[in-house]
Amino acid sequence: MEGPITQATGHNNTIVSVYRDRVELRSGWQSQNVESVGLRDVAVIGIKGLVNVTLTIETNTGRVFQLNRMALPDARRIKNTFEQQKRRAGLYD
Amino acid sequence: MRRLALLSTTVLLLVFALPGLAFAQEGPSTADLSLAMDTMWVIIAACLVLFMQAGFAMLEVGFSRMKNVGSVVAKILVNLAIAALLFWAVGFALAFGTGNAIIGTQGWFLAVSPGQVNDVYAGLSWTQVPLSAKFLFQVAFCAVSLAIVWGTMLERTKFAVYVVFAIVFAGLIYPMVGHWIWGGGWLTELGMQDFAGSTVVHLSGAMAALAGTLLLGPRLGKYDDDGRPVNIPGHNMPLAVLGVLILWIGWWGFNPGSTMAAVPDIADIALTTNLAAAAGVLGAMSMSYMYRRNVDVGMGGNGAIAALVAITAPCAFVAPWASIVIGFFAGVIMYATLVYVDKIGVDDPLGAIAAHGMGGIWGTLSCGLFTSPALAAVGEPGLFYGGGLYQLGIQALGIVAAGGFVFIASLAVFATLKATIGIRVKPEQELDGLDIHEHGVFGYPDLVATDYQNGNGKISEPMESVPEGSA
């Protein structure tokens, strides 16, 4: 199975992982809820805060995922890795 | 025959004359013997307190899952090393050096000529033992306080965080509180009673732990989908109990050793310490049975620790009956706090906030309640002996000031770390265990259990490496 390029933990059993072609969000006590969003479907990834950071992932269909209380370097790593993957896939001008 | 008579006479002369000659020479004075005894006692007590690191190691290993035990012992080792060096370089001077009401300003690196020791370290001038003995005893206390910090942050903290925070804690935070209460600072002047460190050592460690845990967040899987706490059992209760027993023995150096002199009082202090610990076990086990209808082994151990923490401040000031009351209620308070802390979303695998935090608060306050007039070498008698509310008020002030300072200072350090290097490991590292990811080995190489990663039950594959800036 393909491993994630990077991962980070949010509050309340939430995990965000960036793969080559998608961003995956796992939540729930045993990571039973999995949301997978393709690179093309992510509109924007935003970071808010300094110590307890909120990472927001907005999709083209209007869905918004939020991961709370993340560390700033973790959130930045997720955002940078995701944008790097988009560039690699030629999804930016 | 003449030769035999001569030999016998010579032998008899020697037998009778030699003792006289020996007494005629100048032997060690009573003061020299007293100093030697005091020094020996302080070094033995320092050994016992240092041995408490082994107790913390076993306790934390026992309460951890087996995939994280190597990380626990590595953390204990590095923290002891950092505490030893930082406290030698600056911490001891800040805590016990002559200075102002807030901090000591003399005596860096223990570089003091023998004749000036009492002038430079006024905070410890009341004991006659050599400077090295004073330092070795006090540095062991600093290491204990630091060890307490990490009990709440087990199984998910980056190793670098242990290292950086240890430097700040051993080099600045702990010494400041030590100076306020023990080193001639403003709480010393007010007459705060904290004989061996319920506040200085234990509450300080617990408040730093609380600050770190609030920013770190709970372990993955600790709370279910409805937010209810899930029990994540440690992997080895016998080891955890061994740790408790080592700590119990170590406390015989911690409390009686704080006399820093081989005086008869050490026996009384050891007695109050022991009685409190015993009562604490029974208090926590009683609570466990009433709350869950079973006798929780871990809670029994934590009850002993909470009671030992609680009796640390008043151990020299209270009667044996009072130590039993203090210990029993410490066990009860610890259990109630542990359940509450768990419910409000603070994941404390070891129960350090409950045992060391609430134990420290209760113990410090109990001085203001139970201090006997005959034993009140510092401050005033307690409320129950007609001493009024003055001492209780001073104790409460000390708790708020010291606890508040440590909490805010630690929160600032952990917040800075969280915003710069991050304080939590990646989820795959947490699920696989810190041993393999942070230290490259398993604590138990032939017997390891990790959480399921992606449902395949295997340790996760290494992450793909993508060069920075590659397009």
Please state, in angstroms and rounded to a whole number, the distance separating the CA atoms of residues B137 and B196.
11
> What is the structure's pLDDT at B38?
97
- Residue B20 confidence class, pLDDT cut points 50, 70, 90: low
Which residue's entry shows tokens 């609680």?
Answer: B310
A:18-77 residues touching chain B, CB 8 A cutoff: 20, 28-31, 50-52, 69, 71-74
DSSP string spanning B364-378?
HHHHHHH--TTT-SS
Q: Do the Cβ atoms of B418 and A51 come within 8 Å?
A: yes
Instruction: Evaluate whether residue B16 is within a structural domain.
Output: no
Kind and range of the H or E run holding B324 = helix B320-343
- The gap from C-alpha B223 to its chain's centroid, in whole angstroms, comes to 29
Q: Would B218 be classed as within a structural domain?
A: yes
At B289-301, the pLDDT tens digits run: 999 999 999 999 9
Indicate whether B465 pLDDT > 60: no
**Structural domain range at position B113:** 35-453
CA-nearest residue to A14 within chain B is B220
Residue B6 lies in a domain: no
pLDDT at B458 (0 to 100): 53
Q: Is residue B17 part of a domain?
A: no
Predicted local distance difference test score (pLDDT) of residue B468: 43
Among chain B residues, CA nearest to A8: B426
In a domain, B377, yes or no: yes
Which is nearest to B207 in space by CA: B373, B379, B15, B364? B364
pLDDT band for position B455 (cuts 50, 70, 90)? very low
CA distance A58 to chain B (A): 22
* Cα–Cα–Cα angle for B241, B72, B307, rounded to 5 degrees: 40
- Confidence band for B203, pLDDT divided at 50, 70 and 90: very high
Residue from B308, B188, B316, B324 nearest B257 by CA: B316
The answer to whether residues B368 and B198 touch, using CB atoms and an 8 Å cutoff, is no
Determine contact, residues B244/B222, Cβ cutoff 8 Å: no
Q: Is the pLDDT of residue B265 over 90?
A: yes
- Average pLDDT of chain B is 91
Integer Cα distance of B105 and A16 in angstroms = 49
Instruction: Provide the 3-class DSSP secondary structure of residue B262.
Output: coil
Residue B7 has pLDDT above 70, yes or no: no
Which of A4, A31, A72 faces B463 most closely, judged by CB atoms? A4
Q: B232 CA to chain A: closest CA distance, Å?
A: 13
- Smallest Cβ–Cβ distance between A29 and the set B225, B422, B426 belongs to B225
- A12-71, pLDDT tens digit by residue? 899 999 999 999 999 999 889 999 999 999 999 999 999 999 999 999 999 999 999 999
Nearest CA in chain A to B426: A8
Contacts of B461 in chain A (CB under 8 A): 1, 3
- CA distance to partner chain A, nearest, from residue B90 (Å): 29
Query: Are A13 and B221 within 8 A, CB to CB?
Result: yes
In whole angstroms, what is the distance from residue B321 CA to residue B338 CA? Answer: 26
Scanning the structure block, which residue is given the tokens 């309460």?
Answer: B63
Which residue type does B227 have?
G
Distance from CA of B448 to the nearest CA of A (A): 20
Q: How far is B221 from chain A (nearest CA, A)?
A: 5
Among the listed residues B203, B337, B128, B465, the one whose alpha carbon sits nearest the alpha carbon of residue A3: B465
Q: How many residues does chain A have?
A: 93
pLDDT in tens, B144-169: 999 999 989 999 999 999 999 999 99
pLDDT at A91: 75
Q: Which residues of A touch B422 (CB under 8 A)?
A: 71-74
Longest dimension (CA), chain A: 40
By Cβ distance, the residue of A5, A15, A74 closest to B464 is A5
Q: Which residue among B430, B460, B463 sits closest to A5, beta carbon to beta carbon?
A: B463
- Nearest-CA distance from B206 to chain A in Å? 21
Give contacts of A21 with chain B, Cβ < 8 Å.
none
Q: What is the pLDDT of residue B422?
A: 95
Query: How does pLDDT run across B346-403, given as a tens digit for each residue?
Result: 999 999 999 999 999 999 999 999 999 999 888 899 999 999 999 999 999 999 999 9
Give mean pLDDT, residues B413-434.
95
**A73–B422 C-beta distance less than 8 A:** yes
Residue B460 lies in a domain: no
Give residue-wise pLDDT tens across range B276-333: 999 999 999 999 999 999 999 999 999 999 999 999 999 999 999 999 999 999 999 9
Go through B355-366 and write b for each residue having 16 or more CB atoms within 10 A of its CB, e for each that does not.
bbbbbbbbbbbb
- Give domain status of residue B332, yes or no: yes
Between chains, do A71 and B463 touch, taking CB under 8 Å as contact? Answer: no
CA dihedral of B450, B456, B459, B460, whole degrees rounded to 10: -130
% of chain B exceeding 70 in pLDDT: 89
pLDDT at residue number B459: 54
- Domains of chain B: total: 1
| B463 has a pLDDT exceeding 80 | no
- Whole-angstrom Cα distance, residue A29 to residue A13? 6
Query: Residue B156 CB: number of other CB atoms within 10 A?
Result: 24
Residues 6+ apart with CB under 8 A from B7: none
Per-residue pLDDT at B461 exceeds 70:
no
Q: Do B217 and A1 touch (CB under 8 A)?
A: no
Residue (of B301, B308, B328) closest to B245 by Cα position: B301
In this complex, which of A5, A9, A11 lies closest to B427 when CB atoms are compared? A9
How large is the average pLDDT for residues B431-449?
Answer: 83
How confident is the model at residue B103, as a pLDDT? 96
pLDDT at B471: 32
- Inter-chain residue contact A13 with B223, CB threshold 8 Å: yes
Is residue B64, in this structure, part of any structural domain at all?
Answer: yes
CATH assignment at residue B435: 1.10.3430.10
Beta bridge partners of A9: A15
Q: In the predicted model, what is the mean pLDDT of residues B232-242?
A: 94
The complex scores an ipTM of 0.92
Cβ separation of B466 and A12 shorter than 8 Å? no
User: Which of helix, strand or coil describes residue B58?
Assistant: helix
Contacts (Cβ under 8 Å, ≥6 apart) of B78: B159, B162, B163, B166
Model-level pTM? 0.89
**Shortest CA distance from B224: residue in chain A:** A29
Q: Residue B16's pLDDT band (boundaries 50, 70, 90)?
A: low
The count of CB pairs under 8 A between chains A and B is 79
Q: Which amino acid is at B80?
A: L
- Over 60: is that where the pLDDT of B21 sits? no
CA nearest to A52 within chain B: B215
Per-residue pLDDT band for B466 (boundaries 50, 70, 90) equals: very low
Q: Shortest CB distance from B461 goes to which of A3, A13, A31?
A: A3
